[in-house]
Amino acid sequence: MYITGLLVLMLMLFDGIECVAFYTEKPSYIESCRIYEPEFTNCSTRSIQGFMNQVIKGIPEIDETFGPIDPMKQDQLVFNQDNSDVASISANLTEMLIRGFGKMVIKESKVSKKDFSWLTKIYLPTMRLDCKYKMIGRILLVPLRGGGDMSMEIDDLNILMITRTHLYEKGGYTFYNVTSVRVKLEVGKVKTHMDNLFNGRSKEVEQGTNQFFNENWRDLFEALRPLVAETVERTLLKLLQQLFNLIPANFFVEDIPNSLNLYGRKTQLIA
Ligand X SMILES: *[C@@H]1O[C@H](CO)[C@@H](O)[C@H](O)[C@H]1NC(C)=O
Q: Does 135 bind ligand X (CB under 6 A)?
A: yes
Nearest to 7 by CA among 177, 214, 194, 171: 171
Out of 49, 177, 216, 258, which residue is the one contacting ligand X (CB under 6 A)?
177
- In this complex, which beta carbon is closest to ligand X, that of residue 39 or of residue 204? 39
Residue 211: CB minimum distance to ligand X, A: 23
SS3 for the chain, per residue? CEECCEEEEEEEECCEEEEEEEECCCCCCCCCECCCCCCHHHHHHHHHHHHHHHHHHCCHHHHHHCCCCCCEEECCEEEEECCCCCEEEEEEEEEEEEECHHHCEEEEEEECCCCCCEEEEEEEEEEEEEEEEEEEEEECCEEEEEEEEEEEEEEEEEEEEEEEEEEEEECCEEEEEEEEEEEEEECCEEEEEECCCCCCCCHHHHHHHHHHHHHCHHHHHHHHHHHHHHHHHHHHHHHHHHHHHHCCHHHCECCCCCHHHHHCHHHHHHC
Residue 87: CB minimum distance to ligand X, A: 13
- In this complex, which beta carbon is closest to ligand X, that of residue 199 or of residue 211? 199
- Among positions 4-43, residues that touch ligand X (CB under 6 A) are 39, 42
The residue type at 258: N
Q: Does 92 bind ligand X (CB under 6 A)?
A: yes
Q: By rule CB under 6 A, what string of x and - marks binding of each residue 194-233 to ligand X?
A: ----------------------------------------
Out of 53, 65, 179, 211, which residue is the one contacting ligand X (CB under 6 A)?
179
Q: Does 168 bind ligand X (CB under 6 A)?
A: yes
- In this complex, which beta carbon is closest to ligand X, that of residue 99 or of residue 134? 134
Name the one range near ligand X by CB under 6 A: 58-66, 84-92, 148-156, 195-203. Answer: 84-92
- In this complex, which beta carbon is closest to ligand X, that of residue 53 or of residue 76? 76
- Among positions 39-78, residues that touch ligand X (CB under 6 A) are 39, 42, 78
Residue 258: CB minimum distance to ligand X, A: 14
Residues that bind ligand X (CB under 6 A): 39, 42, 78, 90-92, 134-136, 166, 168, 177, 179
